[in-house]
Amino acid sequence: MPKVSVILPIYNVEKYLRKCLDSVINQTFKDIEIICINDCSADNCENIILEYAKKDGRIKLINHLENQGLGYARNTGLINSNCDYISFIDSDDFISIDYIEYLYNTAIKYDADIVFTDNIYTVNEAKLYIKPYYHNRINIWKKKFKKNETWKEGISDFNVNTPEKENTPEYPLVVAWNKLYKRNFLIQKNLLYSKYRIAEDVDMFYRLLANTPKIAYNHCPKYYYLQRVTSLAGSVSAATKPPIAILEVFENVYKYYKENKEELLKDCNYYNFLSLLHTFNNYKAQNKNEFYKKCHDLMKDLNVEIDKDKHPFEAYSCHIMKTNGDYNIYFDKVERIKKKVFSVAWWIPSITLREKYKKYNLNKIAKKKFEEELKNQ
């Protein structure tokens, strides 16, 4: 039995698939199986997989009878895997030759349920460049943790109640594809992907954390993430109908914590709300007010609360969204604060100092505004 299943969900990526497959079959760690789930691609993906399968017996092809989306394709791979550990690789991305070897060795060393790398690079298809992903702070961590080399490998204690670890080597990112998972942990905890076509990683990530996995990291292997206009991530900004799936994701995560980890509900609400805002802010259609109203209704129905002492600006933003059904009021009360702070922060040359300035002043202003709101109720 192979030690690692590499699962590739595949849908209309013939342009990128060979590069992805080459990076997987040429891994220094050879004891793997490669499960390709063809989610009803209309291009030449199936023939490419069959071509590679003839040359490499580790490759298995599974064809979906109907398109089910990225999450369900990952589920198919997980259910059909036969290994101790699994790795999800998006089929338009690629990995360094030692990717699996590093993550697997760390998983065995710490008996980890999840191992991740933040050594991620963005490959921009339109502008033809490769640069560190936004959270890739390897060079900073190398200097900061030079003496004990904890930047490189270790145990992560990150959870929704430890936001102070976000900018450290312990932060695992809310994505599926930079990780190695212990298969039995996912199966025993019934951690399968839900039906969502967007933000499926968000839903899965926070349900994972609610089950208190043992997490480790190794920031030596590299993951190359392709940024392309036609990807699912870029579809929200071009959409003309409100992406209500993000509201379903929010509600699912909220109820999961309410039922299984209520002591961390407020902490999870902070991250859950940030994910919702990310989608909301990227939605550019003229009917944005309609989308806002749906967000308002959900916040009100669930009575969502965020710890205002830990996260003043997000708690204030959530409160305004929950108590006001008019987007113009939300914009006036929340977006104007951001505009005021960002207009000054723009002139700070250091990115680190700029982000600190923004966070400090957003929280400072929001805390005062929140107190005024509560007094006037």
- Residue 306: count of CB within 10 angstroms of its CB: 25
DSSP letter (8 states) at residue 211: T
Q: What is the pLDDT of residue 350?
A: 82
Q: In the prediction, which pLDDT does 280 show?
A: 93
pLDDT tens digits, one per residue of 270-284: 999 999 999 999 888
- pTM of the model as a whole: 0.92
**Residue 234 confidence (pLDDT) above 70:** no
Tell whether the model's pLDDT for residue 229 goes beyond 90.
Answer: no
pLDDT of residue 193 exceeding 90, the answer is yes
According to the model, what pLDDT value does residue 314 have? Answer: 96
pLDDT over 90 at 78, yes or no: yes
Q: What is the mean pLDDT of residues 207-214?
A: 97
How far does the chain reach from its first CA to its final CA, in angstroms? 63
Q: What is the dihedral sign for C-alpha 256, 258, 262, 268?
A: positive
Residue 160 has a pLDDT of 96
* Residue 120 reports pLDDT greater than 70: yes
Is 232's pLDDT higher than 70? no
Predicted confidence (pLDDT) at residue 231 exceeds the cutoff of 70: no
Share of the chain above pLDDT 70, in %: 97
What's the CA dihedral at 359, 361, 362, 367 to 10 degrees? 120
Predicted local confidence at residue 373, as pLDDT: 83
pLDDT in tens, 361-377: 999 999 999 998 887 77
Label residues 308-319 b or e (16+ Cβ within 10 Å = b): beebbbbbbbbb
Long-range interactions of 341-345: CB distance < 8 A, separation 24+: 341/365
Q: Spell out the residues 6+ positions from residue 335 whose beta carbon is closer than 8 angstroms to its own.
A: none
Count the alpha carbons within 13 Å of 345 in the hemisphere toward its beta carbon: 18
CB atoms within 10 A of CB 200: 21
Indicate the average pLDDT of the chain: 93
Torsion of Cα atoms, 44 then 49 then 54 then 58, to 10°: 180
Look at residue 237 in the predicted model and tell me its pLDDT: 63
Lowest mean pLDDT: which of 68-77, 222-231, 366-375? Answer: 222-231
Phi, psi of 80 (to 5 degrees): -95, 5
DSSP string for residues in 225-260: EEE-TTSGGGHHHH-SS--THHHHHHHHHHHHHHHH
Q: Which of 195-199, 275-279, 292-296, 322-326 has the lowest mean pLDDT?
A: 195-199
pLDDT band per the 50, 70, 90 thresholds, residue 134: confident
Whether the Cβ atoms of residue 218 and residue 103 lie closer than 8 Å to each other:
yes
pLDDT band (50, 70, 90) for residue 190: very high
The percentage of the chain sitting over the pLDDT mark of 90, rounded to a whole number, equals 77
Q: What is the dihedral of CA 137, 140, 142, 146, to 10 degrees?
A: -140
Domain edges within the chain: 4-233, 239-376
- Which residue would you say has higher pLDDT here, 301 or 82? 301
Considering the domain delimited by 4-233, tell me its CATH architecture: Alpha-Beta Complex (3.90)
Tokens (6 digits) for 256: 């999961």
Q: Which residues pair with 153 in a beta bridge?
A: 218
For residues 288-302, give the mean pLDDT.
96
**3-state DSSP of 123-190:** EECCCCEEEECCCCCHHHHHHHCCCCCCCCEEEECCCCCCHHHCCCCCCCCCCCCCEEEEHHHHHHCC
Both tokens of 188, joined, read 């025993």
